[in-house]
Amino acid sequence: MALSGIEIYKLLPKTNCKDCEFPTCLAFAMKLATKQVELSACPHVSEESQSLLAASSEPPIRLVSLKSDGYEVKAGNEVVLFRHEKTFYNMPGLFIRVTDEMTSEQIQKKLKPAEEYLVNYVGIDLAVDGYAIESTSNDPTKFKSAVESVRSVSKKPIVLICKDPKVIRAGLDVLEGESPLIYAADESNWEEMGEIAKNANAPLVVSSPNIDSIAEITEKLKDFGVLNLVLDPANRDLSTSLMQFTQIRRLAIKKDFRPLGYPVIAFPCHAPSPETESIQAAQAITKYAGFIVLETFSPEALYALLVLRQNIYTDPQKPIQVQPGIYEINDPKPEDPVLVTTNFSITYFSVANEVEGSGQPAWLLVSEAEGMSVLTAWAAGNFDAERIAKDVKRFEIADKVTNKQIVLPGHVSVLSGELEEELPDWDVRVGPREAVDLPAFLKQAL
């Protein structure tokens, strides 16, 4: 049961000691009531108050994680309806589906390229998160051998799909010590599936086209001792699934309705074409899936989904940053120039990619600018001659180069005079405004 800010305040020490980095206990209580801070930020809460507050400060959507040998996919723990209100925390896992009517060779042929797929986006490695195995045969032996075939290719987390408890048990036999996601409990089988999930310590999907019915089953399973649940509002068309996913999220976040306070799973794999599948998956990423099962593995479609996911799940208040430092591009020699940019990842990659593509060797000084792009950082006072000069010294760049030629981004040409004063024995040049013009500049102007 959620407590109001005043109710929370009454349980706090009321000393206004500021250790939580808020000026008063009341200010902290107000933030805690809207779940914008963690209770652990106040180290002085009594044990008794802690247990009362812990329940009310629990995230409205339970954290559920799938585990396998060395891998974990987490979903839930979300506290807002819209990303800009705070941030989304756990990005939805993307799983590629196979069935137990495929031969072992067919499974391996489909999954090997997916398993090998790894792409770097602004310094972050993106890949498939796991695999879903569906029993279309309803045969425990075939299901077990399909799970074995998947395990011969990958150790990543697994979703086991079948509503027959016998078949699920056969699949679980192969996955001892793991926490796969079991699909699914419904009105007819929830007790038996709940027993299996409890014994295997694995999360369980509750499936029904009716949200009221999902809420009833989750309550029964909770009383039965199964706490890690995932919801499947089993309507697959775009508009109904959008409406139901949004209803679930709203009820969980805005009304603190605990029976629906779990991550949701989406099945774009049932779409009639790969194009529709991508559209459904994109919708599920933005609103509000925790796990997504895909039929098609194609690098071009997957890349778009992974990048979309990355963008939705970054903290809007924290730009993606690159580590400040001196980077070598195209194996530079001491006589090559030093280019300067900021540590906003997109700025860094724009510059680094253009220079790399030009084939011209250069040193790239990535200056600490609180993750802002060149102009924004300059306007905010986070990218000036003094900082650049400090970074030149901090990263001992003078020891690496002989020509001491340093190139400022064209957008901050205004800094050139000050930088000459800061670095009197350097030749300060002004480069182009846009990264795309760097190759020509490197060829002609230096």
Closer to ligand SF4 at the Cβ: 14 or 112? 14
* 50 binding ligand SF4? (CB under 6 A): no
Instruction: Give rounded-to-5 percent helix, strand, coil for the chain.
Output: 45, 20, 35
Calculate the alpha carbon distances from 272 to 233, 234, 276, 295 in Å.
Answer: 19, 16, 7, 10
Least separation in angstroms between residue 33's CB and ligand SF4 is 12
End-to-end CA distance of the chain: 67
How far does CA 19 lie from the centroid of its chain? 30
Least separation in angstroms between residue 42's CB and ligand SF4 is 3
* 247 binding ligand SF4? (CB under 6 A): no
70 backbone φψ class: left, alpha, beta (φ>0; ψ -120 to 50): left
Using CB under 6 A as the binding criterion, the count of chain residues that bind ligand SF4 stands at: 13
Closer to ligand SF4 at the Cβ: 13 or 410? 13
Instruction: Give the phi and the psi of residue 204 in degrees, each rounded to 5.
Output: -130, 135
Least separation in angstroms between residue 37's CB and ligand SF4 is 9
Closer to ligand SF4 at the Cβ: 18 or 393? 18
Footprint on residues 160-219 left by ligand SF4 (CB under 6 A): none
Closer to ligand SF4 at the Cβ: 49 or 353? 49
Footprint on residues 11-40 left by ligand SF4 (CB under 6 A): 12-13, 15-20, 22, 25, 28
Beta-carbon contacts of residue 30 (< 8 Å; ≥ 6 apart): 5
Least separation in angstroms between residue 243's CB and ligand SF4 is 40
Calculate the alpha carbon distances from 110 to 102, 114, 150, 156, 404 in Å.
Answer: 10, 7, 10, 15, 53
Least separation in angstroms between residue 89's CB and ligand SF4 is 23
* 42 binding ligand SF4? (CB under 6 A): yes
Footprint on residues 114-143 left by ligand SF4 (CB under 6 A): none
Closer to ligand SF4 at the Cβ: 42 or 329? 42
Distance CA 318, CA 124 (A): 15
How far does CA 204 lie from the centroid of its chain? 22
Q: Which region, judged by CB under 6 A, interacts with ligand SF4, from 9-17, 116-124, 334-342, 431-439? A: 9-17
Interacting residue ranges for ligand SF4, rule: CB under 6 A: 12-13, 15-20, 22, 25, 28, 42, 44
